[in-house]
């Protein structure tokens, strides 16, 4: 496992939205070419070391986006399991009230018998509603509700705060991370999901629709008092960025003004891993997206952010026998 750390750079971006403008991010600038950067890059690879946990435990992280389909649940599953693989105790809460999918991505759908609604009703205890992953015993899943049940919104947010308190004081010890998978939109489910969170991970894709929603959600999170917001740019295609058909990660960052937790390249393996209920980070051999999720989890643990991003793929040098596949 490697994490890139680059110490560098104070560049004034020429494409920042006007700081004095109080308008939301409605009109996005045109696609821009990669900028000339002259700062030296120094990176340090971290091998064979467990990341050092920063901040107070449990770290309560909400993974949100605003727009649907950008990869919130995939990020939750992969980052959660990466953290578990690093040796941290993790509880992932699927706060999507009606359209929960985290259990499917983790392959735990057949083991969800009780949810938070049953806990609130007194049909089961909290520890009975927690589904422990057999692959990594320090990873547990908790679903808010069953697909056909309704959560009383009168104490939806409060219920999550009670849950966090109960997890803190449970006999086997407080978890290191509580990761909340937020539903799309800014509806009642979003309000419920962000209630107990201290920090947020904003997942977005490099397209204008996702960016506008992400900017709005970031604004709501900041209004709610969550200041530690980092973003993951998902489904990045370096070939399209090179052809100026897609905004680069740096462009996205300039528009949203958020620290980068990770950059996830587009990978066909994501669909396959979703289908089989096996998160990408457990793939062997590892995939590009899986490695990127691992690195994002690493930075999350250390409350670090990316200092260098992958811009484009260098052309591969073809050997003399490349005609024969060499």
Which lies closer to other proteins via its Cβ, residue 163 or residue 182? Answer: 163
Which lies closer to other proteins via its Cβ, residue 191 or residue 208? Answer: 191
Does residue number 159 form part of the binding site for other proteins (CB under 8 A)? yes
Single out the segment in contact with other proteins by CB under 8 A; choices: 31-39, 58-66, 71-79, 197-205.
Answer: 31-39
SS3 262: strand
Annotate 153-165 with b (16+ C-beta within 10 A) or e (fewer). eeebbebbebbbe
Does residue number 135 form part of the binding site for other proteins (CB under 8 A)? yes
Smallest separation, CB 277 to other proteins (Å): 6
**Joined tokens for residue 45:** 């690879």
Task: Find the binder of other proteins among 59, 67, 85, 235 (CB under 8 A).
Answer: 85
Surface-to-core class of residue 264, CB atoms within 10 Å of its CB (0-12 exposed, 13-18 middle, 19+ buried): buried
Does residue number 310 form part of the binding site for other proteins (CB under 8 A)? yes
Task: Find the binder of other proteins among 53, 77, 80, 86 (CB under 8 A).
Answer: 86
SS3 149: coil
Smallest separation, CB 86 to other proteins (Å): 7
Smallest separation, CB 120 to other proteins (Å): 4
* CA angle 41–42–48, rounded 5-degree value: 140
Binding mask 172-191 for other proteins (x = CB under 8 A): ---------------xxx-x
| Residues from 242 through 301 that contact other proteins (CB under 8 A) | 250, 253-254, 256-260, 269, 271-278, 281-288, 291, 294
| Residues from 207 through 246 that contact other proteins (CB under 8 A) | 215-216, 218-220, 222-224, 238
Task: Find the binder of other proteins among 120, 141, 232, 301 (CB under 8 A).
Answer: 120
Size of the site for other proteins (CB under 8 A): 120
Does residue number 154 form part of the binding site for other proteins (CB under 8 A)? yes
Which lies closer to other proteins via its Cβ, residue 2 or residue 54? Answer: 2
Does residue number 195 form part of the binding site for other proteins (CB under 8 A)? yes
CA dihedral 260, 265, 268, 271 (to 10 degrees): 0
- 288/310 Cα distance (integer angstroms): 12
**Joined tokens for residue 117:** 């609604």
Task: Find the binder of other proteins among 32, 101, 170, 198 (CB under 8 A).
Answer: 170
CA nearest 306: which of 244, 236, 213?
236
- 33/273 Cα distance (integer angstroms): 33
Single out the segment in contact with other proteins by CB under 8 A; choices: 62-70, 72-80, 198-206, 310-318.
Answer: 310-318
Q: Positive or negative CA dihedral for 101, 293, 234, 220?
A: positive
Task: Find the binder of other proteins among 150, 237, 243, 322 (CB under 8 A).
Answer: 150
CA dihedral 225, 229, 235, 240 (to 10 degrees): 110
Looking up tokens 């966090």 gives 164
CA nearest 175: which of 165, 188, 189, 187?
165
* CB of 168 closer than 8 Å to CB of 174: yes
| Residues from 51 through 80 that contact other proteins (CB under 8 A) | none
- 129/45 Cα distance (integer angstroms): 40
């Amino acid at each position: 496992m490697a994490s890139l750390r680059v110490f560098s750079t104070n560049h004034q971006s020429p494409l920042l939205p006007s700081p004095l403008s109080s308008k939301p991010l409605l009109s996005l600038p045109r696609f821009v070419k990669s900028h000339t950067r002259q700062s030296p890059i120094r990176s340090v690879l971290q091998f064979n070391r467990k990341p050092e946990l920063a901040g107070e435990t449990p770290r309560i992280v909400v993974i949100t986006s605003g727009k649907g389909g950008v990869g919130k649940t995939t990020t939750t599953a992969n980052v959660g399991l990466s953290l578990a693989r690093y040796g941290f105790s993790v509880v992932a809460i699927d706060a999507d009230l009606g359209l929960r999918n985290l259990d499917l991505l983790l392959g735990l759908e057949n083991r969800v018998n009780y949810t938070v609604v049953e806990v609130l009703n007194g049909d089961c205890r909290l520890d009975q509603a927690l589904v422990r992953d057999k692959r990594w015993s320090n990873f547990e899943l908790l679903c808010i509700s069953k697909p056909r049940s309704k959560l009383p919104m009168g104490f939806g947010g409060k219920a999550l705060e009670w849950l966090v308190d109960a997890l803190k004081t449970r006999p086997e010890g407080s978890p290191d991370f509580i990761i909340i998978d937020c539903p799309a939109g800014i509806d009642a489910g979003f309000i419920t999901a962000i209630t107990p969170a201290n920090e947020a991970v904003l997942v977005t894709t490099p397209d204008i629709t996702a960016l506008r929603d992400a900017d709005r959600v970031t604004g709501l999170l900041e209004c709610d008092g969550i200041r530690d917001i980092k973003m993951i740019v998902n489904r990045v295609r370096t070939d399209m960025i090179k052809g100026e058909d897609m905004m680069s990660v740096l462009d996205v960052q300039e528009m949203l003004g958020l620290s980068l937790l990770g950059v996830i390249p587009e990978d066909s393996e994501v669909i396959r891993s979703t289908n089989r209920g096996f998160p990408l980070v457990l793939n062997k051999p590892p995939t590009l997206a899986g490695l990127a999720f691992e690195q994002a989890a690493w930075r999350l643990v250390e409350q670090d952010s990316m200092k260098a991003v992958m811009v484009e793929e260098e052309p591969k040098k073809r050997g003399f026998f490349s005609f024969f596949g060499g």
